[in-house]
Amino acid sequence: MQYGPFYKNVVFLNYNYLCINYINVVQAGKHCPFCLIANNQADTDILLTDDELVCFRDMKPGATHHYLVVTRTHVDSCKSLREDDIPLVERMVEMGRSILEKNKVSDLDDVRMGFHVPPFSSVPHLHLHALAPASTMSFKSQLHYGPQSHWFITVDKVLSQLKTRGKVK
């Protein structure tokens, strides 16, 4: 028979193709580091959690206190948020404030909370940065988490843009 090796190759390629598709569909979230953390599949200390959100320490702190609040389900970034998501963002802020309070941050007015703006998000999964004290952040930290930074948008701006235009510009 002439078709032996050829036939084997076709089967092999199809098998590979199916496997790759299966992995992409079933494990899409498993390639995202924050999905792994949110699903307890990473070696990260979870500090606060509820059925919707998870909070943990930022690996490269930009201030004395630096925490991240992420959604359990995968959301790409603040650009994916719509008006309906205002309560979600408010709950993220609430968890951010809770973790700062829990860690004895006394001045809750001297905090910085916000999101990185794509394509400058280090991890493309919606995460709220909560930093304190904001007033003593280094110049480098201000570049990454400052209200004037092109890479960062404060949560107040996100909320007001969602209220007025239904999305983050």
Nearest residue to 41 via CA among 50, 52, 49, 33: 33
44 by Cβ neighbours in 10 Å (0-12 / 13-18 / 19+) ranks as: middle
Q: Which is nearer to Zn ion, 35 or 89 (CB)?
A: 35
Q: Which is nearer to Zn ion, 17 or 120 (CB)?
A: 120
Under the criterion CB under 5 A, does residue 116 sit at the interface with Zn ion? yes
Separation of alpha carbons 121 and 96, rounded Å: 18
Separation of alpha carbons 84 and 119, rounded Å: 23
Separation of alpha carbons 141 and 64, rounded Å: 11
Under the criterion CB under 5 A, does residue 99 sit at the interface with Zn ion? no
Under the criterion CB under 5 A, does residue 65 sit at the interface with Zn ion? no
Q: Which is nearer to Zn ion, 128 or 162 (CB)?
A: 128
Q: Identify residues 119-138 at the interface with Zn ion (CB under 5 A).
A: 125
Under the criterion CB under 5 A, does residue 35 sit at the interface with Zn ion? yes
Among 72, 74, 79, 157, binds Zn ion (CB under 5 A): 74
Q: How far is the CB of 116 from Zn ion (least distance, A)?
A: 4
Q: Does the annotation mark 127 as catalytic?
A: yes
Strand-pair category, 65-71 with 127-132: antiparallel
Token pair for residue 98? 């809770």
Q: What is the DSSP letter of 39?
A: T
Under the criterion CB under 5 A, does residue 32 sit at the interface with Zn ion? yes
Q: Which is nearer to Zn ion, 18 or 61 (CB)?
A: 61
Give residue number: closest CB to Zn ion. Answer: 32
Residues labelled catalytic: 127
Residues that bind Zn ion (CB under 5 A): 32, 34-35, 74, 116, 125
